[in-house]
Structure 1
Amino acid sequence: MPIDNIPELYINNPKLKPELFVYDFKMTEDIIKTKVNLNMHMFSFLQTGKKQVHFAETSVLVDNKQSLLIKKGNCLWSELLDKEEIYYCKLFFFSEQRLKEFLSKHIKHKEQPKETPSFFAIENDSYLTSYLNSLSTIATVPSALIDNLLSVKFEELLVYLIHKYKTVFENYLMSLIAQEEVSSFKKSVEQNIHSTLSLEEIAFLCNMSLSTFKRHFIKEYKVSPGKWLRDKRLLKAKELLEDGTLKSSDIYLDLGYSNLSNFSSAFKTKFGMSPSEVR
């Protein structure tokens, strides 16, 4: 699967490297688990549809009631149509330099957080709706004015969100410019034990090729990643079935199996009985 370099994919002139950039992303069919190399921090203002983003340590699903601020880096995202025929998301990208300029102007010096969460969820409200409407009108002004106007709109947005979320949002902004630490390999792996992600997708989220991921995994766990994940997921399946409220048809997709037959066969090989025999 190819990797989408964002926002470069959306910029018509490859020589341009804007520090602020707005893009209206629209589509008419679902896009599932696109591999994304996000090269700028990004606000995602979903207007219609649903958006799911997988990170190395977590995932998030939002509709048009929430927006996201997403840290730059590798992720997988799915864009899903809801009842509407068109998926529409307004994206606002910004550079670290613009963020540093804002922080030096508006936030007194404070200790930088040790961890940087992959995203910050924003509850939409009437102010943000009005803000997005005004942001859309910028596309109609002469190009010479766009950068200055986007600078004003960027500052307006951050000032408002600091007012809304107080120090929680301040700390998140500070964390975006903190020196990035290497994420825990084991933490990333174990957060995805029960996800539907493939080994290749988990490796991508860990910023590794599949072959490097496998070597690193065997060094850490002394077993191949395929066998380890399969055993962990089957143990979870047995636990869910023993609870008595779910059937194998309810859980196999969530445990990474594409069809019920493969799940049942793997379960029987592991435990010597079919899922329906679990009591």
Structure 2
Amino acid sequence: MAIENIPEIYFKDVKGPKEIFVYDFKMTSDVVKSKVNLSMNMFSFLQVGKKQVHFANTSMAVNSQQSLLLKKGNWLWTELLDTEAIYYCKLFFFSEKKLTEFLAKYTNNVKPLKEEIPYFVIENDLYLASFIDSLSTNTYTNHSYSDALLFLKFEEIMLYLLNKYGNDFEYYLQSLISKEVSPFKNVVESNTYSNLKLEEIAFLCNMSLSTFKRNFTAEYNEAPGKWLQDKRLQKAKEILQYGELKASDIYLDMGYNNLSNFSIAFKNKFGFSPSDLSAFK
């Protein structure tokens, strides 16, 4: 699957880099785990549909009752239609330069969070609904004062959220300009028991699959495919031993596309099938 460079793919007849940018995004079919290179921090104001984002160390799902502020980086996006036949969200991008200017103007330069978190969940309210309604691609591209208007909108939403969430939001904003990168092992081990494939974990590490495999073998002294399979099968065995779930309930979560492949791999490792495990209890 090709990597989407966002927001660059939305630029049309734009001269030079944009510091602040708004885009109305619509689609009529589901997109699952699309690879995204996000080069600017971004508000995602979901209007219709459901959204899930896989980060290096975690994942987050929201609906139209919440909005997300996302840190720039490599993410996997899943965007799903809801009861409507369309998915619609408003995306509001801002550069690190504009963020730094805003923080210098309005905040006390507090220390960022020790633990980097790639997202901030915003609970929608009446004020935010009004703000989101005021954002429109056409308004801010066909106006002689577009850039000035956008900067005012940027300051407006930032000041409102600072007032709404206080120090928590200020700490998060400071963390957005941190230059630290998540350690390789943290990314791998945060996704050990996910259903992500090797190439998807490699993407979250910002590496090609071949580079990821070399780094993995150097770090763990074992090929990543076997290491992940062993870890996930051991976890599956522990889950099945509790007796509350069956193999058909968990094989997708363990990274297998079908129950048959999971059962074969399980039996090859342990010498008995998942169904046999319940008979041993």
TM-score by length of 1: 0.96
Could you say what secondary structure the match of 1:278 adopts? helix
Letter in 1 for 2:151: S
Q: CA deviation at 1:121?
A: 0.8
1:240 is matched with which residue? Answer: 239
Q: Distance in 2 between matches of 1:130 and 1:220?
A: 50
* DSSP-derived class of the 2:136 partner: helix
Deviation readout 1:18-66 (Å, 9 max, x if unpaired): 1110001100100111111100000000011111111111111111111
Tell me the residue number matched to 2:172.
Answer: 172
**1:121-163 CA deviation, whole Å, 9 max, x = no partner?**
1111111001111223862784212111111110000000001
Whole-angstrom distance in 1 between the partners of 2:270 and 2:111: 52
Q: Cα 1:140–1:155, aligned 2, differ >3 Å: closer, same or farther?
A: closer
Could you tell me which residue of structure 2 aligns to residue 268 of structure 1?
267
- Matched ranges for 1:205-220 at <5 A: 205-220=204-219
One-letter identity of the residue aligned with 1:243: Y
What's 2:156 paired with? 156
Q: Which amino acid aligns with 2:264?
A: S
In structure 1, what residue type is equivalent to 2:257? Answer: S
Deviations 1:200-227 (A, max 9, x none): 0100100111111111111111110000
What amino acid is the match of 2:27? M
In structure 2, what is the Cα distance between the partners aligned to 1:144 and 1:109? 34
Q: Is the 8 A contact 1:138 1:149 kept in 2?
A: no
Q: Following TM superposition, by how much is the alpha carbon of 1:15 offset from its aligned partner in structure 2, in angstroms? A: 3.7
What's the CA shift for 1:263?
0.4
Q: Report the Cα distance in structure 2 between the residues aligned to 1:270 and 1:126, rounded to whole angstroms.
A: 55
Separation (CA, whole Å) in 1 of partners of 2:72 and 2:92? 12
- 2:15 pairs with 1:6: no
- Indicate how the Cα distance of structure 1 residues 141 and 257 shifts in structure 2: closer, same or farther if over 3 A, else same: closer
Equivalent residue, structure 1, for 2:24:
24
Equivalent residues of 1:34, 1:78 under 8 A apart = yes
How far does residue 109 in structure 1 lie from its aligned partner after superposition? 3.0
- The alpha-carbon deviation at position 194 of structure 1 amounts to 1.2
2:221 corresponds to? 222
Q: Which residue of 2 aligns with 1:99?
A: 99
Whole-Å Cα distance in 2 between the matches of residues 67 and 220 of structure 1? 37
Paired residue type of 1:24: D
In structure 1, C-alpha distance between the alignment counterparts of 2:72 and 2:272, rounded to whole Å? 46
CA contact 1:138–1:146 (8 Å) conserved in 2: no
Where does structure 1 lack aligned partners over 5 or more consecutive residues?
A: none
Matches within 5 A, 1:64-143: 64-136=64-136, 139=139, 142-143=142-143
What's the secondary structure of 1:250's corresponding residue? helix
Per-residue CA distance 1:162-181 (angstroms, 9 max, x = gap): 01110000011111112x12
Specify the SS of the correspondent of 1:130. helix
User: Normalization by structure 2: what TM-score?
Assistant: 0.95
The equivalent of 1:252 in structure 2 is: 251
CA contact (8 A) 1:8 1:14 kept: no
- Secondary structure in 2 matching 1:238: helix
Instruction: Identify unmatched segments of 5+ residues in structure 2.
Output: none
> Judging changes above 3 Å, is the alpha-carbon distance between structure 1 residues 25 and 241 closer, same or farther for their aligned structure 2 residues?
same
CA distance in 2, matches of 1:151, 1:39: 18
SS of 2:144's partner is: helix
What residue is the counterpart of 1:41 in the other structure?
Answer: 41
In the alignment, is the contact (CA less than 8 A) between 2:52 and 2:61 conserved in 1? yes
Alpha-carbon separation, structure 2, partners of 1:100 and 1:141:
24
Residue correspondences, number: 278
Shift of 1:14: 5.6
Q: Distance in 2 between matches of 1:264 and 1:87?
A: 36
3-state SS, counterpart of residue 33 of structure 2: strand
